[in-house]
Amino acid sequence: MFLRIIACEVAFREICWVAARSPNLVDLEFLSQGYHDNSGIGRAHLQERIDAVPEGKFDALLLGYALCNNMVVGLEARHTPLVIPRAHDCITFFLGSKERYARVFRERPGTYYYTSGWLEHRERGGERVPWQQGAQLGPDTAFGYQELVEKYGEENARYVMETLGQWVRDYSHGTLISFDFTRHLPLEAQVRAICAENGWDYDEIPGDLGLLQRWVDGEWNEEEFLVVQPGEQVVATYDERILGTRRVAAPASPKPRPARTEPSFVELKPPPPKDE
């Protein structure tokens, strides 16, 4: 098959790895991780990229996104099927299945998971993005703190930053999801530093790319993947399926215009001549 992948840059290394091992021919496009920050903007941009795909060129469009804050909800397949893994968030992609995802979260709640993509895209353009994984919040954070001070005053600015920083206290462990092909990267050192900074315990678990490999190889069983046919829209199911579809309402047909009638004319005859 000839497939087009449109995915989040967080999964760049992992998707490239499985694509290189797939028998299918794959065209890749990666979008900024920052679209997760506003699901409405992200959804609109993702739909634009779907709509930009030429009709008839690919056998399917593979979306490298999970439910992800409902960002995929509302997306429509126009002329080419969409294939989306059934997952609440992209950590499932790196653990191999939604079942393993649920199991590890039950076994150790309060764990923040890291991959190469999460670590490599924490900073963009040299500026730290604090609402992403592993970022520290505080007066020295490059998250417009000075702008907040100038607009709202220092006391209010500190309150905003402290509120945003509450998430750190909700976790007790930082866990690196590791793969053999990323062993050469300094990921362990980065996660250990984040854990030390936040007062967390460090841990590491092996990743599993089985789900992504089946996705790229075209093994789309119904339990693991949602296939959205042309004319269908993605919906959240709020059950173990996570995602479903519905038919997109066809646009209302315009009311037929009334038939045009030509104006009728009364033939005027000249009056008969008067008798002289």
Q: Assess if residue 191 is contained within a domain.
A: yes
Q: Is the pLDDT of residue 76 over 90?
A: yes
Q: Domain total for the chain? A: 2
How confident is the model at residue 158, as a pLDDT?
61
196-213 pLDDT, tens per residue?
988 899 999 999 999 999
83 with 24, same domain?
yes
Domain that holds residue 163: 98-207
157-195 pLDDT, tens per residue?
666 655 656 666 778 889 999 999 999 999 999 999 999
172 with 77, same domain?
no
Task: Tell me which of 31-35, 138-142, 244-248 is least confident.
Answer: 138-142
Q: Is the pLDDT of residue 256 over 80?
A: no
198 with 106, same domain?
yes
How confident is the model at residue 167, as a pLDDT?
61
How confident is the model at residue 16, as a pLDDT?
96
How confident is the model at residue 218, as a pLDDT?
96
Q: Is the pLDDT of residue 105 over 70?
A: yes
43-67 pLDDT, tens per residue?
899 999 999 999 999 999 999 999 8
Q: Assess if residue 57 is contained within a domain.
A: yes
Give the confidence band of 143 by pLDDT, cuts at 50, 70, 90: very low
12 with 28, same domain?
yes
How confident is the model at residue 271, as a pLDDT?
59
Q: Give the residue-averaged pLDDT of 21-31.
A: 95
Selection from 128-137, 238-247, 263-272 with the highest mean pLDDT: 238-247
Has this prediction a pTM greater than 0.85? no
Q: Assess if residue 169 is contained within a domain.
A: yes
156 with 109, same domain?
yes
Q: Assess if residue 144 is contained within a domain.
A: yes
148 with 203, same domain?
yes
73 with 165, same domain?
no
Q: Compute the mean pLDDT over every residue in the chain, rounded to the nearest whole number.
A: 81
Structural tokens at position 3? 């497939």
Q: Assess if residue 274 is contained within a domain.
A: no
109 with 8, same domain?
no
195 with 108, same domain?
yes
Q: Assess if residue 273 is contained within a domain.
A: no
How confident is the model at residue 67, as a pLDDT?
87
